[in-house]
Amino acid sequence: MEEERFDFENLKVYQKALDYIDFVYEITRGFPKEEVFSLTDQLKRASISICLNIAEGSGGSKLEFNKFLKIARSL
């Protein structure tokens, strides 16, 4: 059975945002342990937020979607 995908999952910007999450997780592994609950956590949450904004905005109008893309870009 083929897996159903949402439209936003086919967007290059969404796919690149997923790659960015992987990149952030990879580089933060090397951060000092005292940064785990500050800088590391902040970077991880911000990278995930990009994908979440793209996904959330994709369910509305083009105007709404553009608003969410601008939010994602400003993170």
pLDDT of amino acid 37: 84
For residue 8, count other CB atoms closer than 10 A to its CB: 19
pLDDT of amino acid 19: 98
pLDDT of amino acid 29: 93
Given a contact cutoff of 8 angstroms between Cβ atoms, the answer to whether 60 and 7 are in contact is no
Q: Is 51 exposed, middle or buried (0-12, 13-18, 19+ CB in 10 A)?
A: buried
C-alpha–C-alpha distance, residues 66 and 75, integer Å = 15
Of the chain, the end-to-end C-alpha distance in Å amounts to 37
pLDDT of amino acid 4: 64
Residues 6+ apart with CB under 8 A from 3: none
Rounded average pLDDT per 10-residue block, the chain, 75 residues: 75 95 96 89 95 91 89 81
- Sketch the domain layout of the chain as residue ranges: 7-74
> What CATH architecture is 7-74?
Up-down Bundle (1.20)
